[in-house]
Each structure stands twice: as structure tokens, then as C-alpha cells.
Structure 1
Amino acid sequence: MIKILLAEDDAVMREYLARALERSGYAVSAVDRGTAALPLLERETFDLLLTDIVMPEMDGIELAQKAQEMAPGMRVMFITGFAAVTLKAGSAMPHARVLSKPFHLRDLVLEVDRLFNVDNAELI
């Protein structure tokens, strides 16, 4: 099963994203900030880091850079509502995907499915 580490500081958004991904067959570990993700990365192996960019304590870009040092093969997808931050993410992590808010949960699942070449017949 594909394992996703979700870092999102907004509790409602975190719950919706985790639920949508779990319903589509992914295993999700969710945290509320980048600094909370680091201990999980030390203990577990994840296939994807799905992270908001703008978060307290450690932004998603810094988290992604640290995560890539710890787990070089892990894929990264950013979610953000700020266009200028999208450009910063693209230059800092050129191979990462960026999904701009607002988006439909179906769009998120489709993007994750594409990353892993998964064919989910049942969409949200």
C-alpha cells in the first residue's frame, strides 16, 4: 500500500485530504506542522510527502528539502493557495508537483494517482 505523509496546519483541510486519500486506498499519516513530520520520517518510510507550503514553525519547502535528505526517493507534492509561493516551490524543488488551492478533492486524488500510475475506478 502506498504511504503518504500529509503535513497541513489547517485541521479541517487536513481531515478532508486524509479522508479522501484513505477512501482511495492510500495509507495516510497526517500532522499539523512540518516539525511534527520529521520524527515520522525518521521512523517510517513514505512514498509521498504531501505538504502545505505556508505553515508555522517550518514551511513546506524546508520540510520537503529535509525529507529529501532523509528519504531521497520519496516524491513530493505541495499544496498552496498563494501564487507567489508556487513559484518559490518550483524553483526550490523542481521535480515536485504543486496543486493550487482551491481544488476539488477529486483533483488531488487524480494527481496522486498519476504520480503512482494508479487507476482508481471509484472517484470521490
Structure 2
Amino acid sequence: MIRILLAEDEEAMRTYLARALQNAGYDVVSVDRGTDALPLLHTEHFDLLLSDIVMPEMDGIELAQRCAEISPATKVMFITGFAAVTLKANREAPQAKVLSKPFHLRDLVLEVERIFGNASQALI
């Protein structure tokens, strides 16, 4: 089963995204900030880091850079509601997919499936 580490500081969004991904068949561990994600990257295996870009203490870009050092096989996808932040993410983490808010949950699941080459089986 594909394991996803979700870092999102907004509780309602974090719960919403985690539930959608779990319903699509993914194993999701969620945290509310990048600094809480780092210890998990050291001790557990994750196939995907799904991170908001704008978060307190450590933004998603820095988290992705640290993830690349700790767990280079972990893929990265960003979610953000800020267009300017999307441009920064594309420059500083060019291997990462950026999904701009608002998006439909089906779009999120499809992007995750594309990353891993899975056929869509989820009905959201």
C-alpha cells in the first residue's frame, strides 16, 4: 500500500484531504507542520510527501528539501492557494508537482495516481 505523509496546518483541510486519500486506498499519516513531519521521515517509510507550502515554523519547500536529504526516494507534491508561492515551488523544488487550491478531491487523487502510475479506482 502506498504511504503518504500529509503536512497541512489547517485542521479542516488536513482532515478532508486525509479522508479522501484513505477512501482512495492510501495509507495516510497527517501532521500539522513541517517540524512534526521530519521525525517521521527519519523513522518511517513514505512513498509521497504531500505538503502545503505555507505553514508555520517550516514551510513546505524547506520540508521537501529536507525530505530529499532524509528520504530521496520519497516523491513530493505541494498544495497551495497562493500563485506566487507556486512559482517559488517550481523554482526551488522542480521535481515536485504543485496542485493549486481550490481543487476537487478527484483531482488530488488523480494526481497521486499519476505519480505512481495507478489506474483510477476511487469514486469521489
TM-score by length of 2: 0.98
- Unpaired runs of 5+ in structure 1? none
C-alpha RMSD over aligned residues: 0.6
* Cα contact 2:51–2:77 (8 A) shared by 1: yes
Identity %, equivalent residues: 69
Q: In 2, Cα distance between the equivalents of 1:74 and 1:54?
A: 20
Q: What is the TM-score normalised by the length of structure 1?
A: 0.98
Cα deviations by residue, 1:64-111 (Å, 9 ceiling, x for unpaired): 000010011110000000000000000001110000000011100000
What secondary structure sits across from 1:62 in the alignment? Answer: helix
| C-alpha distance in structure 2 between counterparts of 1:17 and 1:53, whole Å | 15
Q: Tell me how far apart the structure 2 counterparts of residues 68 and 12 of structure 1 sit (CA, whole Å).
A: 28
What is aligned with 1:102?
102
**Partner of 1:26 in structure 2?**
26
Distance of 2:59 and 2:121 partners within structure 1: 34
What is the aligned partner in structure 2 of residue 71 from structure 1? 71
**Would you say how many aligned residue pairs link Structure 1 and Structure 2?**
124
Structure 2, gaps ≥5 residues long: none
Residue 10 (structure 2) aligns with: 10
Q: SS of 2:50's equivalent?
A: strand
